Amino acid sequence: MATNFSKNLSYIRKQRRMSQKDLAKIIGVDQSTVSLWENGMDLTVENALKVAEALNVPIPEFLGTDLTFDNAELVDINTDTVSIPVLGTIRAGMPIEAQEEIIDYVDIPREWTKGGKQFFGLKIKGNSMSPKYTPGDTVVFEQTNDIEYANNKDACVMVNGFDATFKKFNINQSGVTLTPLNLENEDGYTTTFYDIEQVQGLPVKVIGIARRKISDIE
């Protein structure tokens, strides 16, 4: 349980856009103490209660499971990992493994790759998916072109042969809807609908679904 608490503390803190220093100030401890907690040290029931109260999160959410994965199954990270490339952009018509703009590498659990599954990362540049995903975050995607599998998930989608876009993906008998999570904005982000003819003709293609978010806040 201590392992889950540490992972979830770091994840929830970053979701709140809080630094370790910010959280430490609220609780009344040093930043180094929060760092210890996030590394699985000096964890007590009293400390856990203080953190849960400061972040306004029920204590079971800290202890029950690893919260760091946005889509699909919740999986505990272990030491057996593999590195995947993080891309700045994705070019139309080019397989993921052939993309040239690799800007970084991140680790994922090797368990995820069972059955030949492949993954890639993307660096978030805009705020259309805020506050869940913010500029600077790295999102790990499971490669797939299965639109049914991607239904109702945060997905990387290629439209009309341009660079990939990242939106909430929904499909029904009428067509496909791509929805930004940041609908209350001044940047003109709106929901886009493509009918079946457009989906097939443009085309609208799913490239991958989000499996993990890595924040740049430490």
What residues are annotated to the active site? 128, 167
One-letter amino acid at 119 equals F
**What are the phi and psi torsion angles at 114 (to 5°)?**
-60, 145
CA quadruple 121, 150, 79, 111: dihedral, nearest 10: -130
> Which residues, 6+ apart, have CB-to-CB distance to 196 below 8 Å?
173, 174, 175
